[in-house]
Structure 1
């Protein structure tokens, strides 16, 4: 209910130890991080089970620090807007 009550998208990296397969269920997280975390919010099974794409949007051109479900060309697609200096 907490996730539904937020009424906004929630974004977070995968909850797993470095080098391990990304979890797709709360039970996977519990198994991997047993005793290392206080709570797990179970929002159901994920729809995508691949690692997170981690882009560095401060680099010009954008650099991908960690490859995942979003490919580099998607990050550069005009429909996602253009990066502007602040």
Structure 2
């Protein structure tokens, strides 16, 4: 894991897989329609409050991709 190009991203994927395996599908049902990268952004930024740059570092993605996912989540949010 430490020899990976992005150890933080590797650790995040391992943690995500383990949590999903232990929790089963029920806790993720409200966001099951989202892709895994969008679920990650939703959890890390919108729920845990991590800045987009930290989300990018943890998930091994570019900050621009995190910002794009945040915009798509905001656009898809039901109005009401």
TM-score bin, normalised by smaller chain: under 0.3
TM-score, normalization: structure 2?
0.25
More helix per residue: 2
User: TM-score scaled to structure 1, two decimals?
Assistant: 0.24
Relative contact order, higher structure (CA 8 A, sep 6+): 2
As a proportion of its length, which structure holds more strand?
Answer: 1
